[in-house]
Structure 1
Amino acid sequence: MERTRLSITVDVGFGDCITPERVQMEFPVLLNDPEPVVFAYSKESVIAEKLEAIASLGFLTSRYKDFYDIFLLSRFFPFNGTTLQAAIKETFRNRSTPIEDIVAFEKQFISDSLHRRRWTAFAKKKNTTFDTSLEEVIGQIKNFL
């Protein structure tokens, strides 16, 4: 076990706003070693940034992982609606992205055969037991937001 190495991926960001504020996160360890502590985005800012990426890319988005992540976060973690709204507004403002009319939430996007095929391929690759349709995922995200 002493020579076991595990790889992790860390996404480092600079200049973005974090709402409400950064949080301390401990990485779990296998043995009795001390857990490394890092500062991380709040879950509200994670959702806000993913939503902003979806909005800014519009109909051309191919970032299906953003839909997947928002869907899962909304199902497994509690959120305060006011705090989430503040994070979304601040992120969109900071990136100069209009917040109204997110194309990916419109019927034309949801029913597009290319997006449906790409979503199905993404979902199969991500998790063989995840069979929720793009339409269902986007519907859940809209209800959550």
Structure 2
Amino acid sequence: MSKASPSNLPASVRARLQNLAKQRDIPFDLILARFAVERLLYRLSQSKHAHQFLLKGAMLFAIWTPDAHRPTRDVDLLGFGSTELDTVKSIFAEICAITVEDDALEYRTETLEVMPIREAAHYGGVRVNLRAMLGNIRIPVQIDIGYGDVVTPEPDFVTFPGLLEFTAPKLRTYPIYTVVAEKLEALVTLGETNTRMKDFYDLWFLSQRFDFDEVLLKKAILATFERRGSQLKPLNEIVGLSASFIEMKDATWKGFLRRNRMDHIELAEVITRLRAFLSPMLPGPQSEQPE
């Protein structure tokens, strides 16, 4: 729920978002989705439930990098507390109904749907779907909530950069070290069945943009693997960093880049970079060239 404002605000917001989409060469529907997620995060940050969630996933890149990373429509959270579907639905109904400054969005609580995430690999998860309205524009919103993971080091508390001039959300987020640790764990565990090309891209991107404290990164990796009951393998035993994986997934990789309108980079170059970046964190003999 938003505080009262001029009746032409939805049209004004729509026009400004359309201009942003043109300036950034991003599809308008992606800008709409990002705006709806951003303003939902603001409502979450103003609610009594703010302490129950950490922001994770691709939306973190909006905080870490001023330029566009890769487009995403959804938001990922780490949740603390009950995973009961009725409880989660009640929480998000309250979040959607909270009174805030008018940002021209209305979140329709009658469209709330909550379901278990069947593909959640570890401790289960919950998916929340609902619809936001910007005037007469319908914007689907999806929130995926995971439970049970460890966060090393402590969560960050940051301001999420807004698309427009509305008050920005301030909320707790995953530290970058945990992001790397979880993506590595998925890469190791999934092996040749891995189709999560976004994880390879994200790890490559982060390894180039940031300097990591190796001691802290090792700590985060060990904590994640231990919590998930996974085995940390030597570099040359990780299928997802092998030459055979490059050959097997090259078409999948190119399709990922094409769908997301991203600049071309060879999967072999990405894997070589990841081997160099990750080798100091892994046990056993190392080689920076895929085998």
Same fold per superposition (TM over 0.5): yes
Give the Cα–Cα distance (whole angstroms) in 1 for the partners of residues 261 and 277 of structure 2: 22
Deviations, residues 88-138 of structure 1 (Å, cap 9, x unaligned): 1111111111110221112221222xx10000111122234x211111101
1:25 paired residue number: 158
Give the Cα–Cα distance (whole angstroms) in 2 for the partners of residues 81 and 23 of structure 1: 19
Deviation (angstroms), 1:27: 1.2
Tell me which of 80, 85, 94 is aligned to 2:218. 85
Give the Cα–Cα distance (whole angstroms) in 1 for the partners of residues 250 and 183 of structure 2: 19
Tell me which of 13, 26, 50 is aligned to 2:183. 50
Structure that is richer in helix per residue: 1
Tell me which of 74, 92, 99 is aligned to 2:207. 74
1:99 paired residue number: 232
Deviation (angstroms), 1:35: 1.9
Q: Give yes or no for the alignment of 1:11 onto 2:145.
A: no
1:110 paired residue number: 246
Return closer, same or farther for 1:80/1:127 CA change in 2, 3 Å cut-off.
farther
2:142 paired residue number: none
Q: How many residues align?
A: 141
Deviation (angstroms), 1:25: 2.2
SS in 2 for 1:39: strand
1:131 paired residue number: 264
Deviation (angstroms), 1:18: 0.6
Give the Cα–Cα distance (whole angstroms) in 2 for the partners of residues 122 and 70 of structure 1: 15
SS in 2 for 1:11: strand
Give the Cα–Cα distance (whole angstroms) in 1 for the partners of residues 205 and 174 of structure 2: 17
2:67 paired residue number: none
1:38 paired residue number: 171
Give the Cα–Cα distance (whole angstroms) in 1 for the partners of residues 173 and 267 of structure 2: 29
Q: Which amino acid aligns with 1:12?
A: L
Structure that is richer in strand per residue: 2
TM-score with structure 1 setting the length: 0.89
Give the Cα–Cα distance (whole angstroms) in 1 for the partners of residues 210 and 158 of structure 2: 15
Deviation (angstroms), 1:78: 2.1
1:143 paired residue number: 276
Give the Cα–Cα distance (whole angstroms) in 1 for the partners of residues 241 and 177 of structure 2: 19
Deviation (angstroms), 1:63: 0.3
Structure 2 residue runs of 5 or longer lacking an equivalent are 1-7, 14-31, 38-73, 79-146, 279-291
More relative contact order in 1 or in 2 (CA 8 Å, sep 6+)?
1
TM-score with structure 2 setting the length: 0.46
